Amino acid sequence: MEELGLIRSQRDHLERVLRLKSGAPLSYTDGQGVIGLGSYDSGIVIRGEEVSQPRPTELIVASAPPTSRDRARFLVEKLAELGVVRLQWLSTVNGSRRIPPPEKAMAWTISALEQSRGAWLMTVDEAMVGWSDLKSPVAAADPGGEAPDSWRPQTVVIGPEGGWAPGELPATTTRLDLGTTILRIETAAVVAAARLI
């Protein structure tokens, strides 16, 4: 039988948080679409039956970074749980320029994938991007825009705290209305992703 080694934090989670004993069944993934059902045995996973799952969506989220680390972590984790393909940090006129360290973003993404028992690991960009880097068609969350139910963009864009600067949205960008209230960055990202997946 093939085995999968685990790092200490994974073993600790399985034994202390989930309280798994030797021989207990568990699911695992390679983060590239394969999910398996195996068993836990003293710090290793014994591989079992595996199946490939298609990606649930091709949606990319480009977001201005939230100003606090806790809010950035929430955004990363929830988008990863929903199955978003990629998270890009968008440089905006009024937005923060501080993004989470890549190793932190990766740890949050892996943790969210494990928790949600998804099959695909979300990619998180390591540097800020501009509008020209976004994959079309692009829709930006903006009050008064179109309803999300009527159109499916490749990339949905979430603006900074305080909103878009006048003239910041490119003319080719469709405006997407997420409701009657003004949402925080991380809330808007989750709402947009959930409605577009």
Predicted pLDDT of residue 150: 65
Predicted pLDDT of residue 14: 83
Predicted pLDDT of residue 149: 72
Backbone torsion region of residue 74, taken as left when φ is above 0, otherwise alpha when ψ lies between -120 and 50, otherwise beta = alpha
Predicted pLDDT of residue 15: 86
All domains of the chain in start order, with CATH = 3-52 (2.40.240.20), 60-196 (3.40.1280.10)
- The string of DSSP codes covering 103-167 is HHHHHHHHHHHHHHT-SBPPEEEEEEE-GGGSPSSEEEEEEEEE-GGG---SEEEE--TT-PPTT
Single-letter code of the amino acid located at 13: H
* pLDDT tens digits along 143-166: 888 877 767 899 999 999 989 999
Predicted pLDDT of residue 93: 94
As a whole number, the mean pLDDT across the chain is 92
Q: How many helices (H) and strands (E) does the chain have?
A: 4, 10
Percent of the chain with pLDDT over 70: 99
Print pLDDT tens along the chain (197 aa): 688 888 888 888 888 888 888 889 988 899 999 999 999 988 888 999 999 999 989 999 999 999 999 999 999 999 999 999 999 999 999 988 899 999 999 999 999 998 898 999 999 999 999 999 999 999 999 988 887 776 789 999 999 998 999 999 999 899 999 988 989 999 999 999 999 98
Predicted pLDDT of residue 1: 62
